[in-house]
């Protein structure tokens, strides 16, 4: 007998349920839900576990507190550069993206505050994205001297077109919620106070529908996206891994920790 998903010892993700609706809450509140090694490893497994959960038909993904996810933990990068920790694993990175795509149940992103880096990528790979008015979407990989290789190079152009996606991926500039809705990056922007109720109502609508038809409609729509990911992700992650070893990445991490502007050299 399988261990219930709630009882599998997650340290960085809280799992709760309301009837047939499962909620996954990124929980690293001291770092605004930043992705440290533990959360990265759990993200590689959680969506497969949710897919196998017999007690749910709809999944909500959100962050604890006033942030969805603050992106990669800069102290993890510092430790990796010092040889004290590993860089994000390639297979883990791939499992996160394919876990999102292989999850057959509808996946709803509920986003408050910043969704940054990998956190932004994960939100954008969800099936329907509800953003509070204070939400902001940022893929700042280039600002820390690395390639947007963990899925951003796939999902941004898929949602908003190549030219606009390259503008934001090459600058790392933020996209406020209202602008994200205008350009088609997210589905809905709602007042902060209404976000929980709006997401709950939408999740209940899906859970009360023809769940088999809904599930396999999602699967069908995702076939093209899975082909795109298969084409691009290996190369983009490889480029990202390469840039973890550059002087620009080392300088970006040092500048962030020293609270100064980085001096990039292109090496």
The pLDDT tens digits of the residues spanning 86-128 come to 888 899 999 999 999 999 999 999 999 999 999 999 999 999 9
pLDDT tens-place values along the chain, 267 residues long: 689 999 999 999 999 999 999 999 999 999 999 999 999 999 999 999 999 999 999 999 999 999 999 999 999 999 989 889 888 889 999 999 999 999 999 999 999 999 999 999 999 999 999 999 999 999 999 999 999 999 999 999 999 999 999 999 999 999 999 999 999 999 999 999 999 999 999 999 999 999 999 999 999 999 999 999 999 999 999 999 999 999 999 999 999 999 999 999 999
pTM (two decimals): 0.96
| Beta strands across the sheet bearing 114-116 | 114-116, 136-138, 175-176
pLDDT given at position 2: 81
Largest Cα–Cα separation, the chain: 56
Phi and psi based region of residue 251 (left: phi greater than 0; alpha: psi -120 to 50; beta: remaining): alpha
Which sequence spans correspond to the domains of the chain? 5-192+210-257
pLDDT given at position 42: 98
Q: Which residue shows structure tokens 């840039």? A: 243
Q: Which residue shows structure tokens 């399988």? A: 2
pLDDT given at position 85: 85
pLDDT given at position 88: 82
Buried b / exposed e over 228-250, threshold 16 CB at 10 Å, is: ebeebbeebbeebbebbebebbb
Topology of domain 5-192+210-257 in CATH is: 2-enoyl-CoA Hydratase; Chain A, domain 1 (3.90.226)
């Amino acid at each position: 007998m399988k261990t219930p998903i709630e009882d599998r010892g997650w340290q960085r993700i809280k799992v709760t349920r309301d009837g047939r609706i499962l909620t996954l809450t990124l929980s690293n509140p001291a770092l605004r839900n930043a992705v440290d090694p533990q959360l990265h490893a759990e993200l590689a497994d959680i969506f497969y576990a949710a897919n196998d959960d017999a007690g749910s038909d709809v999944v909500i993904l959100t962050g604890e507190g006033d942030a969805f996810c603050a992106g990669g933990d800069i102290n993890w990068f510092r430790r990796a550069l010092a040889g004290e920790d590993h860089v994000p694993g390639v297979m883990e990175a791939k499992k996160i993206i394919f876990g999102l795509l292989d999850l057959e149940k509808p996946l709803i992103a509920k986003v408050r505050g910043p969704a940054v880096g990998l956190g932004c990528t994960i939100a954008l790979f969800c099936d329907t994205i509800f953003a509070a008015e204070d939400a902001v979407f940022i893929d700042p990989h280039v600002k820390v001297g690395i390639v947007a290789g963990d899925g951003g190079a796939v999902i941004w152009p898929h949602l908003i077109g190549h030219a606009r996606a390259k503008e934001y991926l090459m600058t790392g500039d933020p996209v406020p919620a209202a602008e994200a809705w205008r350009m088609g990056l997210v589905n809905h922007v709602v007042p902060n106070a209404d976000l929980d109720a709006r997401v709950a109502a939408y999740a209940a609508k899906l859970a009360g529908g023809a769940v088999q038809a809904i599930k396999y409609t999602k699967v069908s729509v995702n076939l093209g996206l899975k082909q795109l990911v298969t084409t691009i992700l290996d190369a983009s992650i490889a480029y990202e891994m390469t840039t973890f070893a550059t002087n620009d990445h080392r300088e970006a991490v040092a500048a962030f920790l020293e609270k100064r502007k980085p001096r990039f050299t292109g090496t």
